[in-house]
Amino acid sequence: MDRIGQMQQTIERLTRPGRGILAADESYPTITKRLSDFGIESTEETRRFYRGLLATTPGIGESIGGVIFFEETLGQRTDDGMAIPAACEAQDIVPGIKVDKGTVELAGSSGEKVTQGLDNLGDRLDGYLEQGALFTKWRNLYAVTETLPSRQALDANAEVLARYAAIAQSRGMVPIVEPEVLMDGDHDLERCAAVTEAAQVALFDALRRHNVALEYIVLKPNMVLPGKRHARPSAAVCAEATLGVLRRTVPAAVPSINFLSGGQTSEEATANLNAINQAEGAKPWVLSFSFSRALQNPVQAAWSGDNANKQAAQQAFIHRARMNSLARAGRYDPSMETA
């Protein structure tokens, strides 16, 4: 299959009705922190067991179309000896891989960050392809104040995100582009909307400059929400603000927008996704999820590092995935959480 055909097939698999993406791509420091919140020690074995637990949850392919893994996971195996990417494929789940190398301080800025990882990216992607990964993810971060992010930070991050996407597509891999406006801080909803719009305008300008085919990308943005020090708005308000930004910035050529959960609770992220899909007006894209903590927190709580709890953890995972599958179709109701 040629490069374009491979990307088209991957997009079709990721966007099938009712399906979203699980982000299980936490780096070593991040997964250590997440697991420690539930009293679980992060070792190579606990990480292997946990991510294998996710990939082998019976029936999970009905709600999860793709999983973003950390590089370690591509080489690990389930308890039955199957490579974890192959276990995903057995459930018609597309394996993906996080390829950025985290953030460093942006030289010449006032402490802002830029994402790194372009060095030898093409060679790394060739290796990931051999291990079964068919799509990639790169995350940019934007801290919000009254004056930040600066124009410099917006342009620098958009440039590296576009360069990454072009390299991924040159290998026939679908790039997820993630310009995340952080919820940390005391900014209001209007400020979040303004920064989200600016970040996405800069991103799509850069994607065009680098000849990235928009038909073969996935956008992974934040929902428009105020900083954590503010009260949360209703799901309807979040949906209106989020769609307002997307309609002004995202071309219809983009096939899928898979939201990050960004510090929301599991139920809050699901309710907001549901409201976005229920809202009236033009929505030329698939509007789905690519959640990390909002999908995994209940699973980790049920597992608690005790492998005897595997079935309970998988039940928590399938429940959360099904709730988000319903939200993708605008058919979620909070009463389903306890039904």
Q: How many CB atoms lie within 10 A of CB 39?
A: 11
Cα–Cα distance, 190 to 226 (Å, whole number): 8
Q: Do the beta carbons of residue 73 and residue 29 sit within 8 Å?
A: no
**Distances in whole angstroms, Cα of residue 92 to Cα of each of 86, 313, 318:** 10, 21, 15
Of 98, 113, 220, 310, which residue is the catalytic one?
Answer: 220
Strands 103-105 and 113-115: antiparallel
Cα–Cα distance, 244 to 305 (Å, whole number): 42
Rg of the chain over all Cα atoms, to the nearest angstrom: 19
Strands 286-291 and 256-259: parallel
Of 178, 190, 228, 240, which residue is the catalytic one?
Answer: 178
Catalytic (active site) residue 283: no
The stretches of the chain forming alpha helices (DSSP H) are 3-14, 28-36, 44-55, 71-74, 84-90, 121-130, 151-170, 189-209, 235-249, 266-278, 293-303, 310-328
Q: How many CB atoms lie within 10 A of CB 333?
A: 12
| Closest C-alpha among 260, 325, 316, 267 to residue 291 | 260
Catalytic (active site) residue 71: no
Q: Which two tokens stand for residue 316?
A: 């928590």
- The catalytic site residues sit at 178, 220
